[in-house]
Amino acid sequence: MILFIIIVGCAAMAGSAGAKSPTATEEWVYSQPTNIYDCDISPDGAFVATGTYNGKVYLLTIDGDHLWTVDTYSPVWGVAVSSGAGYVVAGTDIGDLFVYDREGTLLWSKRFRGVVNDVDISADGSVIAVGCADSKVYRYTNTGTEEWAYKMNAAVLSVSVTADGNLIGAGTRNFMITVLDTAGQKVWSYQINGQVFGLALSPDGKYLIAGGNDAYTYIFDDTGEIVSQLNPGTTVNSVSASLQGAYFALGGANGIAMIYEKDGKKVMQKSATTAINGVSLTPSGNACAVASSDGNLYLYSLPADVVPVTPVETAVPTLPIEPVEGGIFSFSSSPTGASVYIDNAVKGITPVTLPMKAGQYQILIRLAGYNDWTSTINLPPSETVSVVAQMNPAAPVSTPLSLGFLSVLSGLVFAAVLMLRRSDE
């Protein structure tokens, strides 16, 4: 009897302890007929951005309501969104970085010499981090100014920026993790045993989590010391961190999304039908977005008091284009998907609408396999100028035949004629 009471008591204690652990609730699923490769929840927890293999960027509310869709015409590997969705950034397979406003209007773009593998943005949108296959991590302002580029030892696969923009973390194909300050100087670095597919700084910069194809996940403090090491038993494609490193999310190639406390205790596990490519926690840890190759974007909620901290304050986003007396260019082309250059600077992909100062501009519209379309166009103040470019296929390049080749060809023809004559005989 005593043994029975002890067993029942232990079971009750175990159940009580289990009840204290946060449980995740699936709030909604947003589906697309393509792989979904990344996702990001805005620092204020109000918006979710996601990018897909078929080149689309979507912005949704935290309740799952669709706000807008834009087409980048190339697979989107990384997305990020600032507080209030003031800025949404995306990096693509052909090396483009796109920066949109809350309405989905393209503010500016930049093409790099390599795939843009990942992007991130500070809470107020003033700092943009770019991880590129050219082995560099870049820091940009929200107006498109490059502040610095740091050369890594291999292609940069993952980047993260703190809420205040003071730290940028980067992970490479050659196993290296590096944290950089506002001037682009190294704060600390560490080499793990695999390619760094996922890396995230906690919003306050107190912790960093990284994982990759060595099937381990490493949690560092702000000095670069490992405080915990997790073994999810699968390649880790994406990671995320809440404030003070209270919770960490992992997305695995085995289709499982997990949330851990920093001491290694697992508090959530959810499964998709195939690989998890992106995970994103709110700063407070009360919600987690999960992007999967099954074509679904999932939103899970957790108890509101998961992280008993006050989210960091963020600045009000500022517009990258100062109010000026200007007009609007509306560019389109046939076929679509052409790059629009204004005064030799790429501004977007057709179709695209661009607010500009009034004035005269040199316009170049370029599409592979077609002749360039060029023109000088005047943009009057307070007017919209529609530019429609009919792209003409480029003539195939003919290569002159050398005299030697012509001689050989003549000989072959002559031999063939002789053989035919002999067969007739």
H-state helical runs in 300-344: none
Which whole-number Å values give the CA distances from 340 to 110, 154, 240, 324, 348, in the listed order?
11, 31, 35, 22, 5
d(CA 51, CA 28): 17
pLDDT for the residue 318 = 44
The overall pTM is greater than 0.75: no
d(CA 250, CA 269): 10
Q: Is the dihedral of CA 281, 59, 173, 205 positive or negative?
A: negative
The tens place of each residue's pLDDT in the chain, 425 residues long, gives 333 333 334 333 333 333 344 578 899 999 999 999 999 999 999 999 999 999 999 999 999 999 999 999 999 999 999 999 999 999 999 999 999 999 999 999 999 999 999 999 999 999 999 999 999 999 999 999 999 999 999 999 999 999 999 999 999 999 999 999 999 999 999 999 999 999 999 999 999 999 999 989 999 999 999 999 999 989 999 999 999 988 999 999 999 999 998 788 888 898 989 999 999 999 988 999 999 999 999 999 987 555 544 444 444 444 443 434 678 888 999 998 888 889 887 777 888 878 888 889 999 999 888 999 999 999 998 888 999 999 999 887 555 555 555 554 555 544 554 444 444 44
Q: Is 277 left (phi over 0), alpha (psi -120 to 50) or beta?
A: alpha
For 251-278, give the DSSP string: EETTSEEEEEETTS-EEEEEE-SS-EEE
| Contact indicator for 353, 330 with CB cutoff of 8 Å | yes
Q: How many CB atoms lie within 10 A of CB 351?
A: 15
Residue located via tokens 């700084």: 201
Residue located via tokens 């307070």: 382
Q: What is the dihedral of CA 171, 127, 291, 293, to 10 degrees?
A: -60
Q: Kindly state the DSSP code that residue 393 receives in the 8-state scheme.
A: B
d(CA 158, CA 209): 11
Residue located via tokens 């050659």: 174
pLDDT for the residue 194 = 93
H-state helical runs in 286-402: none
Which whole-number Å values give the CA distances from 97 to 120, 123, 129, 264, in the listed order?
11, 18, 10, 35
d(CA 320, CA 82): 13
Domain ranges of the chain: 22-301, 323-420
* Three-state DSSP state, 89: strand
For residue 326, which of 354, 363, 365, 364 has the smallest C-alpha distance? Answer: 354
Domain topology for 323-420: Immunoglobulin-like (2.60.40)
Task: Give the CATH architecture of domain 22-301.
Answer: 7 Propeller (2.130)
pLDDT for the residue 131 = 98
For 13-76, give the DSSP string: HHHHHHHHS---EEEEEEE-SS-EEEEEE-TTSSEEEEEETTSEEEEEETT--EEEEEE-SS-E
Non-local CB neighbours of 235 within 8 Å, separated by 6+ positions: 197, 212, 213, 215, 252, 253, 254
